[in-house]
């Protein structure tokens, strides 16, 4: 089995630094590369501060031992002895392909080249390489040291043994790895789209305001954050762009259609918490509008969004994007949903979920609300995913 002694990280931003911390904490020598020397210095200082705090709290035995495993470099050639190089830079396909083409010129023959992209085609990135069989997606979630889930995405060119090898490595790093087909958004960013999109639709239709929708999803739906709070937390420069990318990549399937309400926030520079204003105002003296705590309305909102989420998860299973187990793990570990969506479907009854989808379709007559073929098959006989689908 391939040994990964030395790990290279392309990009000294928050994600690159987080992945570097995970790798170094797992005993690897880590090389962090960035063309911006200020970014490298900042990354080095942040890692030193974080590791010192962890040592002070007794969570790691020695900060210096881990810090000594890092090298911060601005010459790509310094990564030439790495066994695995993970790219964690801007979500731009052309830039990523350029980086991978350059990497191949300096990387040793058996070095694995990985992208941390959240939604771009691994197959397309791999096409920039003469040896695309060693290219794979390894998608961490932010913050990488705290989030357990890692999506592993083989390109169609990837060596068939590589996903299993990377899965074993991620298990050594104490992560929860899942394997996903190379389709837009992979598992999490595909299945989670209705959490944002349907909430925005409900708001734009005037069914409920933003605080009420957030209240319904946390208090009735059981989610840790409401969709608008979460979008503000992620940042609209990230969340909207992922939605737009998935929408375009799915040939403009209306299920993934972005919202003008969110686009306008992005255009205004109201990115959420990071800018002080988004769907909510985060100024000290801002007055928050209270939610309308109407149980009937709240149940209607939560049920509609959960129905759409379940349908998306069922469709991902139908299209063999991932196994049932990996879809459930991805949504509980990647975005902290209160339960797996297929389990949720079983609890509600697949016939009930199908009826909800059909009611939405009959109301709107939009392809956005089409039920998955598999949901229709299961719902027609009220079958359970726990018993019927592997």
Indicate left, alpha or beta for 241 from its phi (over 0: left) and psi (-120 to 50: alpha). alpha
Q: What is the mean pLDDT of residues 342-366?
A: 98
CA distance 206 to 200: 10
Q: Active site residue: 6, 26, 104, 139, which one?
A: 139
One domain, residues 143 and 233? no
Which tens digit of pLDDT belongs to each residue from 33-66? 999 999 999 999 999 999 999 999 999 998 999 9
Instruction: Give the residue from 153, 182, 211 where a domain finishes.
Output: 182
Which tens digit of pLDDT belongs to each residue from 86-115? 999 998 999 999 999 999 999 999 999 999
Number of domains in the chain: 2
One domain, residues 138 and 71? yes
CA 298 to chain centre: 27
> Three-class SS string for the chain?
CCCCCEEEEECCCHHHHHHHHHHHHCCCEEEEECCCHHHHHHHHHHHHHHHHHHHHCCCCCCHHHHHCCEEEECCHHHHCCCCEEEECCCCCHHHHHHHHHHHHHHCCCCCEEEECCCCCCHHHHHCCCCCHHHEEEEEECCCCCCCCEEEEEECCCCCCCHHHHHHHHHHHCCCEEEECCCCCCCCHHHHCHHHHHHHHHHHHCCCCCHHHHHHHHHHHCCCCCCHHHHHHHHCHHHHHHHHHHHHHHCCCCHHHCCCHHHHHHHHHCCCEHHHCECCCECCCCCCCCCCCCCHHHHHHHHHHHHHHHHHHHHHHHHCCCCCHHHHHHHHHHCCCCCCCHHHHHHHHCHHHHHHHHHHHHHHHCCHHHCCCHHHHHHHCCCCCHHHHCC
Q: Is the dihedral of CA 300, 301, 305, 310 positive or negative?
A: negative
Q: What is the extent of the structural domain holding 122?
A: 6-182
One domain, residues 260 and 293? yes
139 assigned to active site: yes
247 assigned to some structural domain: yes
CA distance 49 to 302: 41
Q: What is the CATH number of the domain that holds 302?
A: 1.10.1040.50
Instruction: Give residue 1's pLDDT.
Output: 60
Q: Exposed/middle/buried for 289, CB within 10 Å: 0-12, 13-18, 19+? A: exposed
Residues in the chain, overall count: 390
293 assigned to some structural domain: yes
Q: Active site residue: 28, 119, 121, 151, which one?
A: 151
Instruction: Give the residue from 135, 166, 182 where a domain finishes.
Output: 182
Q: What is the CATH number of the domain that holds 36?
A: 3.40.50.720
One domain, residues 319 and 213? yes
One domain, residues 52 and 114? yes
One domain, residues 364 and 338? yes
56 assigned to some structural domain: yes
206 assigned to some structural domain: yes
CA distance 36 to 329: 36
Q: Exposed/middle/buried for 219, CB within 10 Å: 0-12, 13-18, 19+? A: middle
12 assigned to some structural domain: yes
Instruction: Give residue 159's pLDDT.
Output: 98
Whole-number mean pLDDT of the chain? 96
CA distance 9 to 15: 10
Judged against a pLDDT cut of 70, whether residue 373 lies above it is answered with yes
One domain, residues 211 and 172? no
Instruction: Give residue 248's pLDDT.
Output: 94
The CA-CA-CA angle for residues 274, 277, 282, to 5°, reads 85
Instruction: Give residue 390's pLDDT.
Output: 46
Phi, psi of 67 (to 5 degrees): -60, -35
One domain, residues 231 and 350? yes
81 assigned to some structural domain: yes
Which tens digit of pLDDT belongs to each residue from 202-214? 999 999 999 999 9
Alpha carbon of 185 to those of 117, 190, 214, 376: distances in Å?
9, 5, 24, 24
Instruction: Give residue 119's pLDDT.
Output: 84
Of 315, 362, 319, which is closest to residue 341 (Cα–Cα)? 315
Phi, psi of 360 (to 5 degrees): -65, -45
Which tens digit of pLDDT belongs to each residue from 249-290? 999 999 999 999 999 999 999 999 999 999 999 999 999 899
1 assigned to some structural domain: no
Which tens digit of pLDDT belongs to each residue from 303-351? 999 999 999 999 999 999 999 999 999 999 999 999 999 999 999 999 9
Judged against a pLDDT cut of 90, whether residue 161 lies above it is answered with yes
Of 306, 300, 129, which is closest to residue 207 (Cα–Cα)? 300
Instruction: Give residue 388's pLDDT.
Output: 57
Q: Active site residue: 115, 116, 118, 350, which one?
A: 118
Alpha carbon of 281 to those of 87, 128, 226, 302: distances in Å?
34, 43, 15, 24
236 assigned to active site: no
The CA-CA-CA angle for residues 324, 328, 331, to 5°, reads 140
Of 144, 125, 148, which is closest to residue 136 (Cα–Cα)? 125
Instruction: Give the residue from 165, 182, 199 where a domain finishes.
Output: 182
159 assigned to some structural domain: yes
One domain, residues 178 and 193? no
Tokens found for residue 114 = 């990985």
Phi, psi of 225 (to 5 degrees): -135, 145
One domain, residues 217 and 173? no
* CB < 8 Å & 24+ apart, contacts of 57-65: 60/25
One domain, residues 139 and 191? no
One domain, residues 203 and 248? yes
Q: Active site residue: 189, 239, 350, 356, which one?
A: 189
């Amino acid at each position: 089995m391939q040994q990964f002694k030395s790990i290279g990280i392309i990009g000294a931003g928050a994600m690159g630094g987080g992945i570097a911390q995970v790798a170094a904490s797992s005993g690897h020598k880590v090389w962090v590369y960035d063309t911006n020397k200020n970014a490298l210095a900042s990354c080095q200082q942040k890692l030193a501060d974080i590791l010192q705090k962890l040592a002070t709290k007794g969570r790691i035995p020695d900060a210096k031992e881990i810090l000594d495993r890092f090298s911060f470099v601005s010459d790509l050639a310094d990564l030439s002895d790495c066994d695995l190089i993970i790219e964690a830079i801007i979500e731009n396909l052309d830039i990523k392909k350029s980086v991978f083409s350059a990497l191949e010129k300096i990387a040793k023959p058996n070095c694995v080249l990985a992208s941390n992209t959240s939604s771009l085609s691994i197959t397309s990135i791999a096409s920039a390489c003469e040896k695309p069989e060693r290219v794979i997606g390894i998608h961490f979630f932010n913050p990488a040291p705290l989030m357990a889930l890692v999506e592993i995405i083989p390109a169609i060119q990837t060596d068939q043994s590589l996903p299993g090898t990377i899965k074993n490595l991620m298990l050594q790093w104490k992560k929860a790895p899942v394997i996903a087909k190379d389709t837009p958004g992979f598992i999490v960013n595909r299945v989670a789209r209705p959490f944002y999109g349907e909430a925005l639709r409900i708001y734009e239709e005037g069914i409920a305001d933003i605080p009420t929708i957030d209240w319904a999803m946390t208090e009735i739906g059981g989610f840790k954050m409401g969709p608008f709070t979460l979008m503000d937390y992620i940042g609209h420069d990230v969340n909207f762009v992922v939605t737009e990318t998935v929408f375009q990549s799915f040939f403009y399937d209306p299920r993934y259609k972005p919202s003008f309400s969110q686009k306008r926030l992005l255009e205004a520079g109201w990115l959420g918490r990071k800018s002080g204003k988004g769907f909510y105002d985060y100024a000290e003296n801002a007055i928050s509008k209270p939610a309308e705590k109407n149980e009937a309305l709240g149940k209607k909102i939560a049920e509609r969004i959960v129905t759409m989420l379940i349908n998306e998860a069922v469709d991902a299973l139908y299209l063999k994007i991932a196994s049932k187990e990996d879809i459930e793990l991805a949504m509980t570990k990647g975005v902290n949903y209160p339960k797996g969506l297929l389990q949720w479907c079983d609890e509600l009854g697949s016939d009930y979920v199908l009826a909800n989808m059909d009611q939405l379709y009959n109301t709107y007559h939009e392809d956005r609300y089409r039920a998955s073929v598999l949901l229709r098959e299961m719902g027609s006989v009220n079958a359970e995913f726990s018993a019927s689908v592997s």
